[in-house]
Amino acid sequence: MIELYTWGTPNGRKVSVMLEELGLPYRVHKIDIGKGEQFKPEYVAINPNSKIPTIVDPDGPDGEPFALFESGAILIYLAGKTDKLLPAATRGKYVALQWLMFQMGGVGPIFGQVHHFLRAAKIEVPYATERYVKEKDRLYGVLDHRLAEAPYLSGNEYTIADIATYPWVARHEWHRTDLGRFPNVRRWFDAIGARPAVQRGMAVPG
Ligand SMILES: N[C@@H](CCC(=O)N[C@@H](CS)C(=O)NCC(=O)O)C(=O)O
């Protein structure tokens, strides 16, 4: 049974969607980041970065328990453990990892900043808001262009790149993005959202 430490945010839901897609048994431990539970010493012991998500696989490499943080690393680990959702062939594998890194280094951090400045900042900061909204729109344009060429981010196969990106696009209302402006993203978003495993994973931690 994999232990999943998570909260109801896009980075946490990437991992619950992945576990649901793989059909791996897992137990959810809620880490309420609003209450600062990510800073408790027992959590910092498995995630020194004090953020969710983290997994502990009791049956890790060499059969030993294995704690892992960073959602992208967790997705790659689970794909490797099961030989699923990351193509084995070199070209497909690195195209999937390319779009996963695009999510980790671009979509996640930039959409997160947009959420902060539109929804959480205690004062209005027009310069920062404008800067991040503009970059968010540019990233949507890149996604839309890619999804005009292929059904999924990695090509013809649904992979961890899609799993990583979906929960961020699912927050499109938070970052005030009309998916009608990005019809290829909309088609991809609807197709992925129809997957039962995605629906179950997106409801975690409940
Ligand atoms: N790069 C990390 C980012 C994780 C992250 O930012 N998690 C947020 C929730 S989505 C968090 O735990 N925030 C709590 C905090 O910043 O104190 C990953 O992908 O795992």
The pLDDT tens digits for 94-108 are 999 999 999 999 999
Residue 16 and residue 5 in contact, taking contact as beta carbons nearer than 8 Å: no
> How far apart (Å, rounded) are the C-alpha atoms in residues 150 and 54?
31
Looking at residue 206, its pLDDT comes to 87
pLDDT at 114: 98
pLDDT tens-digit map of 158-193: 999 999 999 999 999 999 999 999 999 999 999 999
Write the CA distances from 191 to 92, 146, 162, 163, 185, integer angstroms: 21, 16, 11, 12, 10
Ligand 1 centroid, distance to 93 Cα (angstroms): 25
Element (H, E) at 102: helix 90-102
For residue 95, what are the CA distances in angstroms to 13, 72, 105, 193?
22, 14, 15, 22
| 6-51 residue pLDDT tens | 999 999 999 999 999 999 999 999 999 999 999 999 999 999 999 9
| The predicted structure's pLDDT at residue 14 | 98
Return the residue whose CA atom lies nearest to atom 19 of ligand 1. Answer: 71
Smallest CA separation from ligand 1 atom 11, residue: 51
Q: What is the pLDDT of residue 198?
A: 98
CA of 148 to the centre of ligand 1 (A): 30
Rounded distance, CA 57 to CA 204, Å?
Answer: 18
Dist. CA 65 → ligand 1 center (Å): 23
Checking if the pLDDT of 147 tops 90, the result is: yes
Atom of ligand 1 nearest to the CA of 10: 10
Give ligand 1 pocket residues (Cβ under 6 A).
9-11, 33, 38, 50-53, 70-72
Q: Which pairs from 146-150 meet CB under 8 Å and 24+ separation?
A: 146/99, 146/184, 147/184, 147/185, 147/187, 147/188, 148/184
Arithmetic mean of pLDDT over the chain: 97
Q: What is the pLDDT of residue 192?
A: 98
